[in-house]
Amino acid sequence: MADNRNREHWGGSLGFVLATAGSAIGLGNIWRFPYIAGQNGGGAFVLIYLAMALLIGLPVMLSEIVLGRRTQRNPIGAFRALNPPQCALARWIGIPLAVSGILVLLLGQWGWGILILGGGLLVLRKRWTVVGLLASAAAFMILSYYSVVGGWTLLYMGRAALGQLAFADVEAAKTAFGAAVTHPGQSILFHLLFMGLCVAVVFAGIRKGVERWAKILMPALFAMLVVLVLRALTLPGAMEGVRFFLAPDFSKITGRTFLVALGQMFFSMSLGMGAVIVYGSYLQKDVNLFRTSSAVIILDTLVALLAGLVIFPAVFAFGMEPTAGTGLVFQVLPTIFGQMNLGALWAFLFFALLMVAAWTSAISLLETIVSAAMDELGWARHKATLVSGGAIAALGLVSAVSIADWSRIEGLHRAVVALFTTAPDSFFDLMDAVTSNWMLTLGGLATCIFVGWIWGTQRAMEEIREGSGGIADAPWLSWAAGLHQDEHYSRELPGKLTLALLWGVFVRFVCPAAILLVFLNAIGALGG
C-alpha cells in the first residue's frame, strides 16, 4: 500500500482522541442535541440516541478511521488508492444518473440537469474516488458557513467580557442579535477573525498545531462545561429543566424519532465527510482502533448530555421558553445570564465554551481540505493552508452577507433561483441544507458500502487488527457469560461472536440500511 513515509503522525493516541473528539464536539452538541432531545421524548430519545451511537456511530467511525490509517491519505487519495479498476456498482449508479440528468435537461431544469448528468459522468469515470471528492467539497462548504457562526461566538465572547450582554428581555436580545448578524461589516470581520484562528493552528502542522491545541482546548472545554453544569443545576427551579430534558416520554417515540436521532448522531460525530478519514491518516499502526473510536464516541455523547444539563436548568429556572438553535443560544441564554449574579462571568464562560467547540471542529474541516491540497497537488503545508483558508473565507463572505440580505448579492440569488427554481432564505441556509441533508448522509452511506462490499471487510479487518491487541477476535460473549473455559465455547468452536464479526455484519447490512432511511427522510422522500 502507498506508505507515505514523510507523513506527519500524532504524538500518541491521546492526541488523536482529543483532536477527533474536538472535531465531533461542536455546535451540534451544544445548540442542537439538547433541544432535539427535549422535544422528542427526553430520556426516551436519549436512550435511542445512545443505541444509535453504539450500533451505527461506532462501526462507521471505525470504518472511516481504518480507511485513513490504511492509505495514509486524505479522503480523495484514500478512495483512489483502494478504488477497484472495474466496478459494476459504479456503472449501475452512473448510467441511470447520467440518463436522468439528460432527461431533466430536456425538461429545461438546467441547474439540476447539469448536476445530475455531471454526477453520473463523474461516477462512471472516477468510480469510488467520487466519494472522496464529495467529502472534500462538503468540508469546504460546511467550513464556509460554520465559520460565520464561529464568528458570532467570538463576537459574543467579546461582548460578554465587556459586560455588554445584559438584556432586559428576550426581545431586546433578539434585536441586538439581529443587528449584529445583519451588520455585514461586523459579521465579516468576526468570520475572518475566526478563520484566521483556524488557519493559525493548521498552519503549524499536526503535532505542533492540531494536536497541541487539542490538548489545550479540550481539557479547557471540559472544565468550563463542568463549572457551568454545577452553576445551572444549583439554580432554584433547575429540576424542572432536567425533567424537560431527561424525563422519558415514550409516547413521543415514532418511527421518525429513530431517523432524527440517527441524523443528529451522524452530524454530531463528524461522520460522512472525510474529517475522520483525515485524522485517521495521521495514526500510527500501534494504536488500538477499537479503543480510540469508542473513546471519541463516549466523549462526544457525554458533552451533548452535559450541554443539556447547562441549558435547560437555566432556561426553566428563569421561566423562559425552550426554543431551538440560534434563538436559544444567542437570545434566550444571554438574557438569562444578564439576570444572574456574576452574569458577565457565566456569559463569558458559556460563549468561550461554544467558541472552543466550534473552533476545534472548524480546525478539522480545514485540515481535511489542507491534507487534500498537500497530497493531491503536492503543495507544502503552509501554501495549502493559506490558499484553502483564503478560498473558504471568501466563500464564507457570501454566507455572511446573505444573512443580512440576499438582495445585496442580487446576481447570485437570481442565478440560484433560475437554475434550481427555488432558493432558501439565504446562501447560508442553502449551504447548510445541501451539506447536512445530502452530502453528509450520502458520504456516510457510500463509505459503509465501500468498506463493507468493495474494498471488503476482510482487508479492513486486517488493518483494524493491527495494534488492537487481539480484542477484535476475543470471544467476549463467552467471557461475559463466564463460559470462556467451557469446552463448548473454547477458542476452536466456530461461530463465536467476536467484535470483528459484529463489525462486519453492521458495516455491510445494518449501517447502510439505517443511513439510507435517514437520507430518504432528510430529503423528504418518506412523506410527512
Positions that interact with ligand TRP (CB under 6 A): 23-24, 26-29, 267-268, 270, 273, 275, 361, 364-365
Min CB(29)–ligand TRP separation in Å: 5
The DSSP annotation for 13-76 comes to: HHHHHHHHHHHHSSHIIIIIHHHHHHHTTTHHHHHHHHHHIIIIIHHHHHHHHHHHHHHTS-HH
Min CB(416)–ligand TRP separation in Å: 23
Residue 98 or 228 having the CB closest to ligand TRP = 228
Cell of 283: 495514526
Give, for 152, the enclosing helix (H) or strand (E): helix 129-161
Residue 29 or 63 having the CB closest to ligand TRP = 29
Residue 13 or 29 having the CB closest to ligand TRP = 29
Residue 59 or 504 having the CB closest to ligand TRP = 59
Q: Is 424 left (phi over 0), alpha (psi -120 to 50) or beta?
A: beta
Min CB(364)–ligand TRP separation in Å: 5
- CA-nearest of 466, 445, 434, 451 to 518 is 445
C-alpha–C-alpha distance, residues 395 and 390, integer Å: 9
Cα radius of gyration rounded to whole Å, the chain: 23
Residue 28 or 41 having the CB closest to ligand TRP = 28
C-alpha–C-alpha distance, residues 216 and 86, integer Å: 46
Residue 214 or 344 having the CB closest to ligand TRP = 214
User: Residue 276 in contact with residue 2, Cβ under 8 Å?
Assistant: no
DSSP summary character for residue 490: S
Residue 172 or 391 having the CB closest to ligand TRP = 391
C-alpha–C-alpha distance, residues 10 and 19, integer Å: 10
DSSP summary character for residue 408: G
C-alpha–C-alpha distance, residues 318 and 336, integer Å: 7
Counting Cβ atoms within 10 Å, is residue 420 exposed (0-12), middle (13-18) or buried (19+)? Answer: middle
Min CB(65)–ligand TRP separation in Å: 14
Min CB(26)–ligand TRP separation in Å: 2
Min CB(396)–ligand TRP separation in Å: 15
Min CB(274)–ligand TRP separation in Å: 8
User: Residue 374 in contact with residue 205, Cβ under 8 Å?
Assistant: no
Residue 117 or 358 having the CB closest to ligand TRP = 358
Residue 29 or 399 having the CB closest to ligand TRP = 29
Min CB(120)–ligand TRP separation in Å: 26
Min CB(389)–ligand TRP separation in Å: 15
C-alpha–C-alpha distance, residues 83 and 454, integer Å: 8
User: Residue 312 in contact with residue 34, Cβ under 8 Å?
Assistant: yes
Min CB(368)–ligand TRP separation in Å: 7
Residue 118: count of CB within 10 angstroms of its CB: 13
Cell of 254: 415514532
Cβ neighbours of residue 172 under 8 Å, at least 6 residues apart?
335
Cα angle vertex 270, ends 69, 37, to 5°?
Answer: 145
Residue 266 or 312 having the CB closest to ligand TRP = 266
Min CB(33)–ligand TRP separation in Å: 8
The gap from C-alpha 477 to its chain's centroid, in whole angstroms, comes to 32
Residue 45 or 267 having the CB closest to ligand TRP = 267
